[in-house]
Amino acid sequence: MKLRYLSTASVMAGFVIGSFSSFGCGGGGGSSSGGGGGGNGTGSRVTVSVSGARSQNVPVEIDPARSKINTPFSQDLAPGGPITLYASEGVADRQFQHWLLNGQVLSTQPTLQTTTPAGDFSLTAVYTPRACGPNGFTPNFAGELDPQDGQPNKLYWWHDFPIRVYFDETQSLVDRSVIEQIRAGFDTWHEATGVLGAYELTTDAASADITVRFTHQPEGNGVAFTDLVFFTGDNTLDKATITFIVPRISADAFTRVGAHEFGHALGLEGHSNVPADVMSIPSGLLPLTARDINTLASGYCAYYNRGRHAAPRPAAITEHRATGTAHISCPGSGITGD
């Protein structure tokens, strides 16, 4: 069995879990990998694996070695000595459920601290898909009211990434440096999630998923607004248009406003009540907060559970589906002279 040692230090909080004898819960699904070659007659040998994640190669940190090792792995231990395992609370789209000892539920906390039993044994970290709904990833503002209009926040999602983004420069209202600033704001979502918000630029307006346009025409006290077209059946997005009201955005605010509007274009209809959040009004400063990221991710529950490599959405089906629209106006943030 090949072991891979990673140098990353654990930053997880430690919870002290009771000893083996304290837990007698039966049942428990999941699998545990087979023996790792047997003990040496005097010691114990633990085999650590993960069940329910999309990949087996999930790192688990183990003490006393204090190393993060990709599962599955086996390690020799001294019977009666302390053993601590640190599993991640979440692995991509999955959340930690419980530890199994030889197939029996031992603990529901991702950090497991106990005493090494005699002989060979297995420990399995079981993961399950995150629950869909506003509490899929917390903390978030998915279930809050938009302070802009008092209406409940809503979540939509793109069926596939990368999406195609078209910058409409036909009127030459901004120069290249502004577009680069805006793109830096767009990029923050993919940088933060590693999954959501990947896009590629297109020069073909007709095939664009998201169109970015610029205007000098004010709309209320807004600095920008985003329009969404979505399919009402599953809340997937069909098109989005982001409009920047150029004279109302100060030169150093395009990245922040860009991140805010791209959040809408990725499916967040509504705003946060917490000023630090980039998706509040006026928008908070970058970087994106956990609430920003979790709210977007909550809208992508079906995307996560479906898997990231599903077949592209068939065009023939989408043409006959009912659509709805949303217009999201964003006051305040980055206003020149505000």
Q: Which is nearer to Zn ion, 112 or 279 (CB)?
A: 279
Question: Residue 185 Cβ, how far from Zn ion at the closest point, in Å?
Answer: 13
Question: Residue 279 Cβ, how far from Zn ion at the closest point, in Å?
Answer: 7
Gap between the Cα atoms of 37 and 110, Å rounded: 26
Expressed in angstroms, the distance from the first to the final Cα of the chain is 62
Cβ atoms of 117 and 20 closer than 8 Å: yes
Q: Which is nearer to Zn ion, 45 or 264 (CB)?
A: 264
CA 179 and chain centroid, separation: 26
What's the longest Cα–Cα distance across the chain? 80
Task: Considering only residues 230 through 259, tell me which ones interact with Zn ion, judged by CB under 5 A.
Answer: none
Question: Residue 271 Cβ, how far from Zn ion at the closest point, in Å?
Answer: 5
Q: Which residue, among 238, 243, 182, has the nearest Cα to 209 in the 3D structure?
A: 238
Q: Which is nearer to Zn ion, 105 or 330 (CB)?
A: 330
Gap between the Cα atoms of 68 and 124, Å rounded: 15
Q: Which is nearer to Zn ion, 106 or 330 (CB)?
A: 330
Provide the H-helix boundaries in 252-328.
254-265, 290-299, 301-306, 315-318
* Contact call for residue 112 and Zn ion (CB under 5 A): no
Q: Which is nearer to Zn ion, 192 or 330 (CB)?
A: 330
Gap between the Cα atoms of 223 and 248, Å rounded: 5
Mask: binding to Zn ion, 302-331, rule CB under 5 A, as x and -? ----------------------------x-
Q: Taking CA 213 as the corner, what is the angle to CA 207 and CA 219, rounded to the nearest 5 degrees?
A: 135
Question: Residue 225 Cβ, how far from Zn ion at the closest point, in Å?
Answer: 8
Q: Which is nearer to Zn ion, 71 or 283 (CB)?
A: 283
Question: Residue 102 Cβ, how far from Zn ion at the closest point, in Å?
Answer: 52
Residue nearest to Zn ion (CB): 330
Q: How many residues bind Zn ion (CB under 5 A)?
A: 1
Backbone angles phi, psi at 56, to 5 degrees: -80, -20
Question: Residue 152 Cβ, how far from Zn ion at the closest point, in Å?
Answer: 15
Cβ atoms of 58 and 88 closer than 8 Å: yes
Report which secondary-structure segment, H or E, holds 188: helix 176-193
Question: Residue 141 Cβ, how far from Zn ion at the closest point, in Å?
Answer: 12
Backbone angles phi, psi at 314, to 5 degrees: -70, 125
CA 110 and chain centroid, separation: 19
Q: Which is nearer to Zn ion, 187 or 227 (CB)?
A: 227
Where do contacts with Zn ion occur on this chain (CB under 5 A)?
330
